[in-house]
């Protein structure tokens, strides 16, 4: 039996698998949970990350403004489904408290380590790279130095140190809509100095859904079977990219080592809100939250670069599925 090593969350957003479904991951019937024009200055909120906090939920939201530029807003929710999102961007400061705004920011991940909330996003460092910052009180938001040089995207921090080091997944890329990409892991003693970069896994495999590029998704979940990492895989079609959700198990002590990798996607764009929108055919996971006791996992994903949606899975079932469809490449 596979078990999540982590905390319990009895108020996790959840819906049982629809009767008759054979899929290892299923969608919330009330999707999308965030639609067009969610605040006066924002057109679309998607590719966002939610965390439980003091019996309710908080989140960092990718908000594409009505001038088309992306930034990150903070928001709150009582139930993890209905959100109250700030109409202003997160007011980042530097370590001295002086304002340090971002030029653009997108695809945030959100993780709590000890008493600190960390945000990792795609930042502008003379080109797309990884940005990182933290808050302890949800009021003062402090930027850290960029961990990696451009061009890079999909930075994901592990939820605890591994062998005394912070670990960061990333996906080296290029200046625009990168047509390639593999996942790497870097480590740091202090979240400032990063090195010992290692390849985790490449795009490809027998299935074409992850044949063009891949990128880490939500914060990895610690389980008795390894780190459960959901990620996005991209296929290049004559009608453009298609983004699907896949999963892999990484070694607990050496996360550059892949234990099992699912050859099938777990979720691919099918619903209207996934196949139709600002960018059609995108399911882009940025966060998962879970209840360790029941093994339930809720995944927040961006749909069609327009909506925020939720999908669900059960840790035992999804790990069995990954192992059953394991593909070594």
Subset of 166-205 contacting ligand BMA (CB under 6 A): 177
Among 166, 302, 309, 310, binds ligand BMA (CB under 6 A): 302
The answer to whether 79 touches 57, Cβ cutoff 8 Å, is: yes
Phi, then psi, of 63 in degrees rounded to 5:
-120, 110
For 25, how many CA atoms within 13 A lie in the half-sphere containing its CB?
27
Q: At 109, list the tokens.
A: 């991940």
By CB under 6 A, tell whether 222 contacts ligand BMA. no
The answer to whether 64 touches 304, Cβ cutoff 8 Å, is: no
DSSP 154-170: EEEE-SS-BTTBEEEEE
Q: Which stretch binds ligand BMA (CB under 6 A): 3-11, 162-170, 200-208, 279-287?
A: 279-287
By CB under 6 A, tell whether 120 contacts ligand BMA. no
Q: Identify the helix (H) or strand (E) that includes residue 232.
A: strand 226-237
Q: Which stretch binds ligand BMA (CB under 6 A): 4-12, 133-141, 276-284, 310-318?
A: 276-284
Q: Greatest CA span in the chain, whole angstroms?
A: 57
Among 47, 210, 306, 314, binds ligand BMA (CB under 6 A): 47
Among 61, 92, 106, 307, binds ligand BMA (CB under 6 A): 106
Question: What's the CA gap between 283 and 116, in Å, rounded?
Answer: 29
By CB under 6 A, tell whether 69 contacts ligand BMA. no
Cβ-proximal residue to ligand BMA, closest one = 279
By CB under 6 A, tell whether 268 contacts ligand BMA. no
Q: Which stretch binds ligand BMA (CB under 6 A): 51-59, 137-145, 220-228, 278-286?
A: 278-286
By CB under 6 A, tell whether 89 contacts ligand BMA. no
Among 76, 112, 279, 320, binds ligand BMA (CB under 6 A): 279
Q: At 164, list the tokens.
A: 């005394």
Q: Identify the helix (H) or strand (E) that includes residue 242.
A: strand 240-250
Footprint of ligand BMA (CB under 6 A): 47, 106-107, 177, 243, 279, 282, 284, 302, 305
């Amino acid at each position: 039996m596979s078990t999540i090593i982590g905390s319990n969350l009895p108020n996790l957003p959840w819906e049982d698998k629809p009767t008759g479904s054979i899929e290892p991951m299923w969608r919330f019937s009330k999707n999308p949970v965030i639609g067009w024009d969610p605040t006066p200055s924002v057109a679309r909120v998607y590719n966002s990350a939610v965390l439980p906090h003091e019996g309710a939920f908080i989140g960092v939201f990718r908000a594409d403004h009505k001038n088309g530029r992306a930034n990150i807003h903070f928001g709150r929710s009582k139930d993890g489904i209905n959100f109250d999102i700030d109409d202003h961007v997160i007011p980042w400061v530097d370590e001295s408290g002086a304002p340090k705004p971002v030029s653009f920011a997108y695809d945030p991940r959100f993780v709590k380590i000890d008493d600190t909330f960390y945000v990792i996003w795609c930042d502008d460092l003379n080109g797309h790279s990884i940005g990182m910052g933290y808050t302890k009180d949800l009021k003062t938001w402090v930027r850290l130095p960029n961990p990696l040089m451009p061009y890079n995207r999909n930075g994901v921090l592990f939820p605890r140190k591994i062998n005394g080091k912070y670990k960061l997944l990333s996906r080296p890329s290029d200046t625009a809509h990168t047509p390639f990409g593999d996942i790497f892991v870097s480590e740091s003693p202090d979240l400032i100095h990063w090195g010992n970069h290692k390849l985790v896994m490449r795009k490809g495999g027998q299935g074409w859904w992850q044949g063009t590029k891949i990128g880490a998704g939500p914060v990895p979940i610690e389980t008795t079977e390894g780190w459960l990492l959901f990620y996005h895989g991209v296929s290049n079609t004559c009608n453009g990219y298609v983004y699907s959700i896949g999963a892999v198990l990484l070694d607990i002590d050496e996360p550059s080592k892949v234990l099992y990798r699912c050859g099938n996607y777990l979720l691919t764009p099918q619903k209207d809100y996934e196949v139709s929108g600002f960018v059609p055919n995108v399911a882009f996971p940025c966060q998962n939250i879970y209840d360790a006791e029941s093994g339930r996992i809720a995944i927040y994903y961006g749909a069609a670069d327009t909506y925020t949606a939720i999908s669900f899975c059960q840790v035992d079932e999804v790990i069995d599925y990954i192992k059953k469809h394991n593909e070594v490449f």
